[in-house]
Amino acid sequence: GNSVTQMEGPVTLSEEAFLTINCTYTATGYPSLFWYVQYPGEGLQLLLKATKADDKGSNKGFEATYRKETTSFHLEKGSVQVSDSAVYFCALSVGTGGFKTIFGAGTRLFVKA
């Protein structure tokens, strides 16, 4: 079946630290991969996406590269800010009829000043 596994949180970092949140997936077919972010009290916002192998998605200093050989899509940021504190969800979309999005469990990030 289709599933997403991401590292458990919470992750606590100091401002300007390097961030990595690991994500691996299992999919039947060729998925598109996404990172969504959920700030406190808000909905889900697309952070970045990649639709084929070796694509790099990037936005707001965050990056993730679609690695087909390792079925991974790890999220990275070189220097986090307090405002990056949120829950990050790795997700995939694959299918024939519904193209539903399948989410990982989410990783909560706390950034301290």
Partner 1 sequence: EPEVTQTPSHQVTQMGQEVILRCVPISNHLYFYWYRQILGQKVEFLVSFYNNEISEKSEIFDDQFSVERPDGSNFTLKIRSTKLEDSAMYFCASSLTGEGTEAFFGQGTRLTVV
CA-based nearest residue to 71, from 89, 53, 55: 53
Please pick, from the candidates 106, 107, 109, 111, the single residue that binds partner 1 as defined by CB under 8 A: 106
ω into 10 cis (within 30 of 0): yes
* Tokens 């039947």 -> residue: 28
Q: How far is the CB of 97 from partner 1 (least distance, A)?
A: 4
Binding positions for partner 1, 25-54, rule CB under 8 A: 32, 34, 36, 42-46, 49, 51
Nearest distance in Å: CB 20, partner 1: 20
Pairing outcome for strands 11-14 and 107-112 = parallel
- Which contiguous run of DSSP H or E holds residue 107? strand 107-112
Q: Comparing C-alpha atoms, which of 110, 108, 62, 111 is closest to residue 89?
A: 108
Rule CB under 8 A: say whether 102 interacts with partner 1.
yes
Name the one range near partner 1 by CB under 8 A: 9-17, 60-68, 72-80, 97-105.
97-105
Assess 1 for contact with partner 1 (CB under 8 A): no
Residue 103 lies near partner 1 (rule: CB under 8 A): yes
How distant is the alpha carbon of residue 113 from its chain centre? 23
Q: Which residues bind partner 1 (CB under 8 A)?
A: 32, 34, 36, 42-46, 49, 51, 89, 93-95, 97-106
